[in-house]
Amino acid sequence: MASPETDIVIRVRDLVVGFGSQVVLDHLSLDVQRGEILGLVGASGGGKSVLLRTIIGLIPKRAGNIEVMGLDRDTADPEETRAVERRWGILFQQGALFSSLTVRQNIQFPMREGHHLSQGLMDELANAKLEMVGLTLSDGNKFPSELSGGMVKRAALARALALDPEIMFLDEPTSGLDPILAGDFDTLIRTLQKTLGFTVFMVTHDLHSLHAVCDRIAALADGKIVAIGPIAELLASDHPWVKSYFQGKRARVITRATN
Amino acid sequence: MIMAVSPSLICNAAGERLELEPTGAWTTAHSEALEALVTGVAERVAAARKLAINMAGVRELDTLGAWLLEKLIRSCDDRGIEAQFQALPDRYRGLLDEVRRVNRGVAEKPRSQTKLIVWLEMVGRAAIDLKADFITFLEMLAALSFAIARVVMRPQTFRLTSAVHHLYRVGWQAIPIMFLITFLIGSIIAQQGIFHFRKFGADAYVVDMVGILVLREIGVLIVSIMVAGRSGSAYTAELGSMKMREEIDALRTMGFDPVEVLILPRVLALVIALPILAFLGSMAALYGGGLVAWLYGGMSPEIFMARLQESVSITHFQVGIIKSPFMALVIGIVACSEGLRVKGSAESLGLQTTNSVVKAIFLVIVLDGAFAIFFASIGM
């Protein structure tokens, strides 16, 4: 029913973003397909988070086009923009949970906006999301300051999932977690992505995540996407930065282990 | 994007067997309609002996829709009645399985309490907090005394640069605002005094009132309250953010005593600055009083000065100035111990800063009352 053309949920064309005299993203183009998990890698300070934040509209762009689910912010009216914003979920690097609300209230926060759900049903749904991300029901009564790092990530994921988004933006989902927790989190994202069928756009540095969960990987260097494709293609890439990233000492250990 | 089709729920009863046929989009976008639909069939589901949900017509399904259907199935399971999905497309299977897994446990409900119990609990907690506050205050005072003793024994460990820096901030930089506020307060007292005393021809006694009130009470009190709001809050916020970013833990692990490095210079700066500010503030208030007496009350500056000399003795001035270092000590200790109480979140930083100012002002006023009793009993 859907043509290949509409199966692209995020379309970025010739995007230019800069701060002052510094150009961070220089005529960058990128497509994200429906239902895939795309990992974005790049040097620290190389503009990965800038790209993510520009796509979700937090940073203004200088030139280029961004279409998310067929919507171009430049031409859309605020009502349409809000409608699209309700169909994506964002996991911020530090979780960005509202500190004055409990975890359960955090999850219910997006549900209250624009929907008329009974409190009972909202509680049941929030509990369902809590369990989906592997938290217990009593964790729902806690405040963000009472959670450990891993639990914050899970709670933030539950909030991002609150409205069953079609696209999930994850900003370094496994940073700050120990390898076991990070591995669990990778599996969790993969499982949820399969059951709920959303598209994932993930900024990450975690080579394990890249191997374990990503369908495709995009490498960002010099403000452009220099390589994109499944991990095997990136391993074979001869771009110098991609080469040093995937064939450096740390990467080789992981590649060996996963093969 | 698939056009959202409004959802519906068709009921087909065949004998004791009930077949439900949900159609359309069972998503959060239609939450209101969906809840109504499901509540609408609840009665018939409760009466049925066998339930089947035919999923063939469902165009879209999300967690909300899946959960509502799962609740119907679950209500039958609870009564031991056969219930199942039929014609289930594969793409929904994972989600329905996931939803089947959740919400099995019982969420612990917060205990419901009567208003009286809640109120009593609040009072109890406040009392315990009060005791904790008192102990924290004493602990900080003791820690500070030990730090002073250590510094006296080894003067080279004293943080002179830090103390001077804080003295500059809480003393020198505070002078303009203190001048302004005390000048205004002095003027207002004089104006009110003249206005009311004039009715019975006692306007000359305004000078006595302004002089004694300002030197004994108002000068030091206003300045202390201003310092608590201006510098005490700054201390709490600084130490609190250092606590949040683990800087204080870092200091401790490097073998430094945070009280000696951070708190002693701050409190010392306050103890030095506050008497100076109180003195300057009192002078500004007297100046304001004199100005108003001249311009509004028609009392020449010479007469004002002469009457002031008559009515005010050195004792009044001493009473005011003796109090000020103690006020500074209280403000400093409250501000620093509240700062160290900050926990991980930015919210707690704000809360402790508010607490610090409120407690410091409260204690300053209580202390002023205690001093009033003390000085009265020794005849000053």
Beta partners for A28? A15
Q: Which residues of B25-63 are buried (b: 16+ CB within 10 A; e: fewer)?
A: bbbbbbbebbbebbeebeeebeebeebbbbbeebebbbb
Say if B304 is an interface residue toward chain A (CB within 8 Å).
no
Beta partners for A17? A25
Residue A3 pLDDT more than 50?
Answer: no
Sign of the torsion formed by the C-alpha atoms of A53, A59, A63 and A65: positive
SS (H, E, C) B199-266: HHCCHHHHHHHHHHHHHHHHHHHHHHHHHHHHHHHHHHHHHHHHHHCCHHHHHHHCCCCHHHHHHHHH
Q: For residue B364, give the DSSP letter.
A: H
Show the CA angle centred on residue B298, arms to residues B292 and B300, nearest 5°. Answer: 85
| Closest listed residue to residue A245, CA positions, set A223, A219, A226 | A219
Say if residues B68 and B26 touch (Cβ distance below 8 Å). yes
pTM exceeds 0.95 for this model: no
User: What pLDDT does residue A62 have?
Assistant: 87
pLDDT by 10-residue block (mean), chain B, 380 residues:
69 80 83 84 80 83 84 82 81 81 69 85 93 93 93 90 94 95 96 92 90 93 95 95 88 87 95 96 96 93 93 92 95 95 84 94 96 92
pLDDT digits (tens, 9 = 90+) for A61-87: 888 888 888 888 888 888 888 888 888
Domain boundaries, given as residue ranges, for chain A: 98-164
User: What pLDDT does residue A87 have?
Assistant: 82
User: What pLDDT does residue B161 have?
Assistant: 92
Interface of A with B (CB under 8 A): 1, 6, 69-70, 99-100, 111, 115-118, 121, 123-125, 127-129, 131-132, 136-138, 140-141, 144-145, 161, 163-164, 194-197
The encoded tokens of residue B7 equal 């959802």
pLDDT digits (tens, 9 = 90+) for A84-135: 888 888 888 888 888 888 898 888 888 887 677 888 888 888 888 888 888 8
From-to residues of CATH 3.30.750.24 in chain B:
8-101
Say if residues A23 and A16 touch (Cβ distance below 8 Å). yes
Residue A4 pLDDT more than 70?
Answer: no
Q: Hey, are the CB atoms on B110 and A141 less than 8 Å from each other?
A: yes
**Which chain A residues are Cβ-neighbours of B99 within 8 angstroms?**
128
* DSSP-H helix ranges across A36-148: 48-55, 78-85, 103-112, 119-132
Q: Hey, are the CB atoms on A195 and B95 less than 8 Å from each other?
A: yes
SS (H, E, C) B67-124: HHHHHHHHHHHHCCCEEEEECCCHHHHHHHHHHHHCCCCCCCCCCCCCHHHHHHHHHH
User: What pLDDT does residue A231 have?
Assistant: 84
Place of tokens 């203190």: B178
Residue A17 pLDDT more than 70?
Answer: yes
Question: What is the DSSP secondary-structure string of A144-207?
Answer: GGGS-HHHHHHHHHHHHTTT--SEEEEESTTTTS-HHHHHHHHHHHHHHHHHH--EEEEE---H
Q: Any idea how long chain A is?
A: 259
C-beta atoms surrounding A128 within 10 Å? 22
C-beta atoms surrounding B225 within 10 Å? 20
Q: How many angstroms separate the CA atoms of B190 and B287, rounded?
A: 10
CATH code given to domain B8-101:
3.30.750.24
ipTM above 0.95, yes or no: no
Mutation for testing the A interface, residue in B1, B96, B108, B348 having most A CBs under 10 Å: B1
Residue A5 pLDDT more than 60?
Answer: no
Q: Any idea how long chain B is?
A: 380
Q: How many angstroms separate the CA atoms of A244 and A247, rounded?
A: 5
Q: Which residues of A22-47 are buried (b: 16+ CB within 10 A; e: fewer)?
A: eebbbebebbbebebbbbbbbeeebb
* Number of alpha helices (DSSP H) and beta strands (DSSP E) in chain B: 15, 5
Say if residues B264 and B333 touch (Cβ distance below 8 Å). no
* End-to-end CA gap in chain B: 86
